[in-house]
Structure 1
Amino acid sequence: MANAQTYLVIIDGTEESRVALRFAAQRASHVDASVTLLHVMREPEFMPLGAVQEAIRAEAAEEGEALLAAYADEAEALAGTRPQTVLLCGEAGPTIHGYIQNEPRIRALVLATATKGSPGPLIAHFSGERIGQLPCVIITVPGGLTADRIIEIS
């Protein structure tokens, strides 16, 4: 599936990212597509001691890789294929937007809403004027969907 279209899921450790992952993995398996999991770690604050800053960055990268691996295991169990994982550093919204602009295989950005309150910072970032700037569709999955319901509708 090297040239397959891919569903991009942002992994941040929230239950919303798990809901988006479930939907994307199920949907991709039905349409012969792949899943890519993307985690954006924040750039550490500047510190005059570069070694300390590098240690903090290395620890954050390790945590990000572990998070991606755990979600990749879940996606593989759901869809039968291991997703690609990507770890980037920066501010989430602009970093994700830049990645999408430079990756033509992305079929859809899959995000899940929060179950109550505001829909979430990524949905807020990609709605409004930015939505017209993406070269793919955005799939917004209600965060309160059960695993069984996701299977039914994907």
Structure 2
Amino acid sequence: MRKFLVLLDDSHESLNAMRFAAMRASNSDGAVLVLAVIPAAEIQHGFGVADVMRAEAQERIEAHYEVFAKWMRTRPKVEPELLIREGDPAEELLRLLDEDPEIGIVAIGLSSDKSRQNPVLTRLLRDAAGLPCPITIVPGDISKERLEAIT
């Protein structure tokens, strides 16, 4: 089974990347793997604070994920899988690509705001020739209808 890997974050373009991955997975009998990364800088260490902050971040991620997962289960009829890691998002995504040979495509959303950098996409493109699978860049402003038409 081919997996579509999507990085979950708070961006609008992440939503379109998830839509794209779910529709493609549905149309190709694939699966969707959603990676959420808690940046290590967000976790302050000391006196048990790190555990509390980590738990709060996980709860926030799981609530955010469930919104998308519910849509995936009902509309394109795909059961997504959530994986939460801690560290640098780009490094964790690359590590996951090395660990899971079933990942066939990475779907990354791209913001239409030219002033906003996407460090994960920048990192992936820097190493694109050595990646084990293709990257699909999904425009953040593409409509649901257009996504349905092309998937």
- Settle same-fold status: TM greater than 0.5: yes
Q: Is the 8 A contact 1:40 1:89 kept in 2?
A: yes
Partner of 2:75: 78
Pair 1:144-2:105 in alignment: no
TM-score between both structures, scaled by the size of structure 2: 0.91
CA deviation after TM superposition for structure 1 residue 46, in Å: 4.2
Count residues with an aligned counterpart. Answer: 149
CA deviation after TM superposition for structure 1 residue 127, in Å: 0.8
Secondary structure class of the residue paired with 1:79: coil
Pair 1:116-2:118 in alignment: no
The code of the aligned residue for 1:109 comes to V
Q: Is the 8 A contact 1:38 1:68 kept in 2?
A: no
Instruction: Spell out the pairing of 1:93-108 with structure 2 (5 A cutoff).
Output: 93-108=90-105
The code of the aligned residue for 2:21 comes to A
Secondary structure class of the residue paired with 2:75: helix
Indicate the larger mover: 112-121 or 58-67: 112-121
Q: Is the 8 A contact 1:9 1:24 kept in 2?
A: yes
Partner of 2:28: 31
Partner of 2:4: 7
Give CA-to-partner distance per residue, 1:124-145, whole Å, 9 cap, x none. 12112x1122111101112211
CA deviation after TM superposition for structure 1 residue 7, in Å: 0.4
Q: Identity of aligned pairs, percent? A: 27
Mark the runs of 5 or more structure 2 residues left unpaired by the alignment.
none
Q: Is the 8 A contact 1:37 1:72 kept in 2?
A: no
Q: 1:39 & 1:114 partners in 2: Cα distance?
A: 18
TM-score between both structures, scaled by the size of structure 1: 0.90
